[in-house]
Amino acid sequence: MILARGRGANVQGQAKIDSEDAYDHYAKIFDREDAIEGSCADYSGGAAEECEVQEGEQAEGVKVRVPLLVIYSEGSLGRMNDVEGIWPRWVEKGVEGVKFVGVGEGHGHYLPESADGLVAEKVVEFVKKGIEATKL
């Protein structure tokens, strides 16, 4: 099962993913044909077509123009890609509030499940800073 392969080596994170029937919840979602179709389209687009579209948009100067929080697994996405080297090229120069959070300690692909406390903390921190910035 792909969920088991992507869960990482962090024992506490694995226990969270394995708890509260998480696999059953995922399986129930994928009992729906539209969920399968949507997931396949997402992965298919991300594998080739979407990359080409995004590269074209970059060539045309289309950039992210808002604060951005990128939370990624150092052992999963971060092992395969230079996340902090790639993402800034997609953000318009001068945009403030761009933050990267690499999560290590053996956490895998499913960070909201395995590192829920850390993810929630970083999202709340990011939103609070955004709210504070708009009060200036």
Tens digits of per-residue pLDDT, 84-132? 998 898 899 999 999 999 999 999 988 988 999 999 999 999 999 988 8
Q: Is residue 37 part of a domain?
A: no
Q: Is residue 53 situated within a structural domain?
A: no
Determine, yes or no, domain membership for 52. no
Whether this prediction's pTM lies above 0.75 is answered by yes
Parent domain of 18: 2-31+63-134
Per-residue confidence (pLDDT) for residue 18, from 0 to 100: 82
Number of domains, the chain? 1
Residues 6+ apart with CB under 8 A from 114: 7, 8, 10, 12, 13, 14, 16, 17, 107, 108
In a domain, 18, yes or no: yes
The pLDDT of residue 16 is 87
